Structure 1
Amino acid sequence: MEEIVKKWEEILSYLKNEYAITDVSYDSWIKPLELFQIEDNKLYLTYGGEQSTMTLGYVTRKYATPLKVTIAEITGIQFDEILVISQENAKQINREKNVVSINMEETSSFEANKKMGNSSINPKFTFDNFVVGRNNRFAQTAALAVAESPGEFYNPLYIYGGPGLGKTHLMQAIGNYIGKQNPNTHILYVTSEEFTNEVIENMRTNNNASAMQRFRDKYRTVDVLMVDDIQFIIGKEATQEEFFHTFNALHAMGKQIVISSDKPPKDMETLDDRFKSRFDMGLMADIGYPDYETRMAILSKKIEEKDFNLDESIRKYIAENIQSNIREIEGALNKLIAFSRLEKIDITMEIAERELQNFISPNISREITPQLIIEVVSEHFNLTVDQMASKNRSSNVARPRQIAMYLCNTMTDSSLQAIGLLLGGRDHSTIIHGANKIGEEIEKDESTRNLVETIKKKINPN
């Protein structure tokens, strides 16, 4: 046992080199693994990253066997099985059984467009420069899993969210990653508009049958098909029919399909049920609005990329006031950079407020979203958003969390599942319980009623 502990860092390093695991994959899947216990000749590992069942299952399927082989080669110890479990399950095991966890304290800590097939994929969109926050962690994890093993696990991958939140970045990051790892892979990225235009153009040609056959050969012989903004094909009968048969052909051959949209299939009222059922065959991954910490991280990343200096107070001003999407944050930054370089002066708060007045309009009521509510509640109780999403059950955290549940449930149309995801992956029954508890207190207790009304005015001052 001691040998595995002592050689754990060597084992991981050997695994990375022997199986040609990229830096981003290593940091996402391998580095967060920690030794937990050995029982019945099974090695149990905990995973320190995203704690979803999807992620744990993927890490186990993808890396358990290579890890088992690597351990055997370096230490000579043969395990029947390697299992990756959540940190919560590990705590539960320790509570229920008198087992000895492996002590890791004495070990070291884990230390111009590019053409692919017939599509243009922007090389600047990678996983390395995608800023991960609570609003997009699940989607990023799913996208990376697809990029590592196209066609194997989540097919199709359906990414949805509002405009400017990073859907296109993630899709093209998949393409760039696959293209780098497997240069011979035929990857095709198109927008639904491009797909539609090709269908119309080929149908209008004199030799219609021949043109449509070329179109089908183009789309049905790829290894990876990515279609951005799929919602725009709704109502276009000929386009829908071509996409339906293209989807079926590729899926039957085990080819990877990645789709993006502004909403989940169930919210597309005029979408045929046959499309909904096929999209449901894979994995749905949503991207929400970035919280304050993520907006600040994105802004800092963009500033670094553009080699520009911007005072911390101005960064906070932008992050606090532009909450809708990443595209607007980048647009605001670009405007300040252009002004600074044209006028040859540094940006002050006065200049920022004046130049960004078209981006930041304090008098216009902001969209009320669960993310906004959680941020306001956190600020009111001097908590961080991460504390609100944590497992902490102390009253000074649990009560604000329940108030957030109540306000999200009563002030937005978001589903209980979506609210639960923003609050640390809690299930719908927990959200209902928390919301009902605060609702009952409001009816009985005037101080609670006043408290909630105060927070509501902060959320929506108008």
Structure 2
Amino acid sequence: MKVSPSTLLIIYLSEARLSEPANRLWDAALGRIQLQIPRPTFDTWLRNTHALRLEGNHLVVSVPSTFTAQWLEDRLQKLILKTLSSISSQEITVAFVVGTENPRRNSFSEPVNPNAPSSINNPLGVTAFYPEYTFKNFIVGPSNQLAYAAAYALASGSPSAYNPLFLYGGVGLGKTHLMNAIGQLATSMGKRVIYVSAEQFTNEYLRAIKERKTDGFRDRYRSVDLLMVDDIQFLNGKEATQDGLFHTFNELHRSGGKLVMSSDRPAGELRLLEARLRSRFEAGLQADLSAPEFETKLAILNALTEKISNPIAREYLEFIATHVHDNVRTLQGVHNRLLAFIEFTGQEPSYELAKMALGPSALKEIPPILDQGMILDFSSKAYGISVKALISPQRTKEASKARQLAAYLLKSKLRFSPDQIGQILGKRDRTTITYAIGQAKEALITDPQFKEFVLSLEKNKQHSGLFNKNIESA
């Protein structure tokens, strides 16, 4: 039967409406599940899955193979169902199907499967990269600035580029993003690039020895302009493979080629690597990617929220950035969970939803949410005066100290600007507030009582006894 174009459009739109909530729910679930299971398990069985549709409370998830579907049903289904139901606040059932419909990547999909043979059969040695991972959308901050600059210099062919470049850092801090960005830029400039995992390099090398095809292996790896090896720490203790990489690097270096490696630790800590190979790595540039600071985390969240139709207000993003301490991947997972909570509960964004998105373990660590009124009340009671006196023109020692404390807390805890703080504290000008904050920072070093007030708030202690004691002595 012939189907009209208008009917096809209706079918397409219907599928789109079904798949988007499904994608959100599944991404949120993956974000939470990846924090509860080993990384190899997540990478092997869940990373390359995606949601197809959500029909009522039944979620259909596409998986790469029948074996994957069976494994998930046998080993992880209980955790998956519990996570889905927790996020959506209702019982969710799930079905795993093998298929290629809706080939959308989830937020955790690898840009390239390091163990896939896609680049092995490519005579030019060009690897397919994940297009979303570019230099343009990499959020740069103090925690990754050196790594970014070094990666860009090498990929763009700068004379100042170091060779080899050794990127290291913990899970989810941007190594994969930078590796893909390097590969894409270098490829766009006509360079021949191979990007493999240490495991794939090992497997190919040992297979070449076994099948007596070492000439082909050498030709493949030593004729490229740029070789990138991911997770180099897995070569620890594999002496034969280390020997192959050492000679490959020497040949590449001699012919003008470049080498980029990533690891979860500095080269000097890879004790089971041969000394000669470790010294090669250390002779180049080692650049670390560490946990992002608050400003970088906030910039990452802003970039994520710009992609959705109803952006989340800044105060909720700041709340998340304040309480996610480990890596970018966790930050993305929390953001996805917040979006899912908003969508599936029908509620407006709020601090309570943001706390739920952070997960049960984080909830226990989060103190009651501060606001402007709480800080004014805290600061005035600390020095035995009223809030009215705090914001008045009064210039007593107690009032001045209370204003310094309030200004410091409004700036450090709520991240208000000096202009905003001035309006709160009796319409004082920016210069006065800036001076007060400076005095507060000095008092943290020289005034034990002032420091005690700040620390007591940070530790979420009960302050009544502290206030009463101070009021009596005032």
Normalised TM-score (structure 1): 0.53
Q: Verify the 8 A CA contact 1:150 1:256 in the aligned structure 2.
A: no
Match of 2:162 among 137, 142, 154: 154
Conserved 8 A contact 1:322-1:359: no
Q: Where in structure 1 are there 5+ consecutive unaligned residues?
A: 1-111, 365-377, 386-393, 404-437, 439-444
- Structure 1 residues 270 and 122, CA gap change in structure 2 (3 angstroms): same
Q: What is the distance in 1 between the residues matched to 2:138 and 2:198?
A: 23
Amino acid at match of 1:209: R
Match for 2:355: what amino acid? E
1:229 deviates by 1.6
- Separation in 1, partners of 2:330, 2:254: 40
Is 1:142 the equivalent of 2:150?
A: yes
1:243 is displaced (CA, Å) by 1.2
Give me the whole-angstrom Cα distance separating, in 2, the residues matched to 1:282 and 1:152.
12
- CA–CA distance in 2 between the matches of 1:189 and 1:291? 29
Q: Which amino acid aligns with 2:201?
A: F
Greater RCO (Cα-Cα under 8 Å, separation 6 or more): 2
1:128 aligns with 2:136: yes
Change (3 A) 1:361 1:258: farther
Give the letter for the 1:278 counterpart.
R
Map of 1:275 onto structure 2: 277
What is aligned with 1:241?
Answer: 243
Give the letter aligned to residue 182 of structure 2: I
Query: After superposition, where does 1:373-412 map in structure 2 within 5 Å?
Result: 382=411
> How many percent identity over aligned positions?
37
User: Aligned letter for 1:249?
Assistant: E
Within a 5 Å distance, the mapping from 1:207-222 to structure 2 comes to 208-210=211-213, 212-222=214-224
What's the counterpart of residue 256 of structure 1? 258
Query: 1-side partners of 2:264 and 2:212: how far apart?
Result: 34
Superposed, 1:102-117 pairs within 5 Å as: 117=125
- Which residue of 2 is the match for residue 302 of structure 1? 304
1:178 counterpart residue number: 186
Question: Matched residue of 1:323: which SS?
Answer: coil
Residue 347 (structure 1) shift: 3.7
Deviations for 1:103-152, whole angstroms, at most 9, x for unmatched residues? xxxxxxxxx87978342311111111011111111211111111221676
Q: 1:394-433 to 2 correspondence within 5 Å?
A: none
Secondary structure at 1:209's aligned position in 2? Answer: coil
Report the Cα distance in structure 1 between the residues aligned to 2:209 and 2:460, rounded to whole angstroms.
51
Cα distance change, pair 337–266 in 1 and its aligned pair in 2 (3 A): same
Between the aligned partners of 2:196 and 2:276, the Cα distance in structure 1 is 22
Q: Find the aligned partners of 2:283 and 2:161 in 1 and give their Cα distance.
A: 11
Q: Which moved more, 1:117-126 or 1:334-343?
A: 334-343
Instruction: Give, in whole Å, the separation in 2 of the partners of 1:380 and 1:344.
Output: 34
TM-score w.r.t. the length of structure 2 is 0.52
Aligned to 1:72: none
Native 8 Å contact 1:220 1:249 kept in 2: yes
2:355 and 2:135 mapped to 1: Cα distance? 33
The partner residue of 1:190 within 172, 186, 196 is 196
CA separation of 1:278 and 1:399: change in aligned 2, threshold 3 A: farther
Size of the aligned set, in residue pairs, is 284
1:187-230 Cα distance to aligned partner (Å, 9 max, x none) = 111122222232344444xxx212x3322222111101111221
CA offset at residue 154 of structure 1? 0.8
- What root-mean-square deviation, in Å, do the aligned CA atoms of Structure 1 and Structure 2 show? 3.9
2:171 matched residue in structure 1: 163
Range that drifts further, 118-127 or 353-362: 353-362
**Equivalent-residue separation in structure 2 for 1:457 and 1:350 (angstroms):** 21
Q: Is the CA contact (8 Å cut-off) linking 2:356 and 2:363 kept in structure 1?
A: no
Question: How far does residue 157 in structure 1 lie from its aligned partner after superposition?
Answer: 1.1
1:336–1:395: structure 2 CA closer, same or farther, 3 Å change rule?
closer
CA contact (8 A) 1:292 1:320 kept: yes
Aligned-partner residue type, residue 170 of structure 1: L
Q: Relative to structure 1, is the Cα distance of residues 191 and 305 closer, same or farther in structure 2, using a 3 angstrom cutoff?
A: farther
Instruction: State the distance in 2 between where 1:275 and 1:400 align.
Output: 48
Which residue is equivalent to 2:328? 326
What is residue 90 of structure 2 aligned with on the other side?
none
* 452-461 vs 221-230, greater mean Cα deviation: 452-461
Computing the radius of gyration over CA atoms, which structure comes out larger, 1 or 2?
Answer: 2
Q: Is the 8 A contact 2:268 2:282 kept in 1?
A: no
Aligned to 1:360: 362
Partner of 1:230 in structure 2? 232
- 1:310 Cα deviation from its structure 2 partner: 1.6
Gaps of 5+ in 2: 1-104, 106-110, 113-118, 367-406, 416-434, 462-474
Specify the alignment match of 1:315 in structure 2: 317
SS at match of 2:227: strand
Q: Helix, strand or coil: the match of 2:300? A: helix
Please give the alpha-carbon distance, in whole angstroms, between the structure 1 residues aligned to 2:350 and 2:183.
40
**Aligned partners of 1:351 and 1:227: how far apart in 2?**
40
> Alignment partner of 1:130: what SS?
coil
Q: For residue 274 of structure 2, what is the amino acid of its counterpart?
A: D
User: What is the CA deviation profile of residues 396-416 of structure 1, one whole-angstrom value per residue up to 9, with x for unaligned ones?
Assistant: 879969x9xxxxxxxxxxxxx
Describe the SS at the equivalent of 1:189.
strand
Aligned 8 A contact 1:332 1:359 in 2: no
Structure 1: distance between partners of 2:237 and 2:459: 38
